[in-house]
């Protein structure tokens, strides 16, 4: 049975420790099946445990089916968040040169005229730069970006699309 209110500190710590002992390897495996990258899978497990520590959900029995289902949900969301972050980063690289692997990021960081993603997007007007920075680099959602910039969600999407077109054009001209 779970409670929405956080228990005292000792019970909370014991719950997290029990979850770690019971589920750490299973969480890693679940994350790896989504990410296919051991380092990112480890990051997902760490993120999931941070969410569990900060969260308000508590199960008296960490081995219960309800707890297991909750843990699986948390790790999947953590892994998907990491996957989406990687996808956004790849999207920037992809529309710059048509490649989809992250090795291009390293190569672009070593170019004389560029120093990484920040330098590549620095050619954008501030209205586009801010959107790309929030979405792709800070990993904010469209809603969070819209709120932070004080514009509509549709405007965020449109600016991101225009920024990609502009960067592609800029990249092709200077390459």
Q: What is the 3-state secondary structure (H, E, C) of 7-72?
A: CCHHHHHHHHHHHHHHHHHHHHHHHHHHHCCHHHHHHHHHHHHHHHHHCCCEECCCCCHHHHHHHH
Whether the pLDDT of residue 108 is over 80: the answer is: no
Q: Supply the pLDDT for residue 74.
A: 94
* DSSP H or E stretch at residue 139: none
How far from the centroid of its chain's Cα atoms is residue 14's Cα?
A: 28
Q: Three-state DSSP class for 2?
A: strand
Instruction: Give the per-residue pLDDT at 115.
Output: 44
Q: How confident is the model at residue 67 (pLDDT cuts 50, 70, 90)?
A: very high
> Chain-wide mean pLDDT for the chain?
79
Q: List pLDDT tens digits, range 153-168.
A: 999 999 998 988 888 7
In the predicted model, is pLDDT for residue 6 greater than 60? no
Q: Is 168:121 a contact under the CB 8 Å cutoff?
A: no
In angstroms, the Cα distances linking 74 to 23, 37, 42, 77, 85 are 12, 18, 14, 5, 17
Banded pLDDT at 104 (limits 50, 70, 90): very low
Res. 46: pLDDT tops 90:
yes
**pLDDT of residue 96 exceeding 60:** no
Average pLDDT over residues 138-156: 89
Q: Would you say residue 21 has pLDDT above 50?
A: yes
The token duo for 151 is 């514009």
State what percent of residues in the chain have pLDDT above 70: 76
Question: Could you tell me the pLDDT band of residue 2, with boundaries at 50, 70 and 90?
Answer: very low
Residues 98, 93: Cα–Cα separation, whole Å: 7
> Largest alpha-carbon pair distance within the chain?
61
């Amino acid at each position: 049975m779970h409670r929405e209110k956080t228990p005292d500190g000792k019970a909370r710590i014991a719950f997290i420790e029990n979850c770690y002992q019971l589920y750490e390897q299973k969480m890693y495996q679940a994350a790896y099946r989504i990410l296919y990258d051991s380092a990112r899978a480890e990051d997902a497990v760490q993120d999931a445990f941070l969410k569990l520590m900060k969260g308000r959900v508590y199960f008296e029995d960490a081995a219960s089916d309800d707890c297991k289902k909750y843990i699986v949900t948390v790790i999947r969301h953590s892994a998907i968040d990491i996957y989406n972050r990687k996808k956004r980063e790849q999207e920037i690289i992809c529309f710059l040169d048509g490649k989809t692997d992250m090795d291009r990021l390293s190569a672009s960081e070593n170019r004389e005229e560029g120093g990484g993603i920040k330098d590549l997007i620095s050619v954008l007007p501030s209205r586009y730069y801010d959107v790309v920075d929030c979405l792709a680099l800070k990993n904010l959602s469209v809603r969070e970006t819209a709120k932070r910039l004080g514009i509509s969600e549709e405007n965020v999407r449109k600016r991101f699309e225009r920024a990609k077109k502009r960067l592609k054009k800029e990249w092709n001209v200077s390459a």
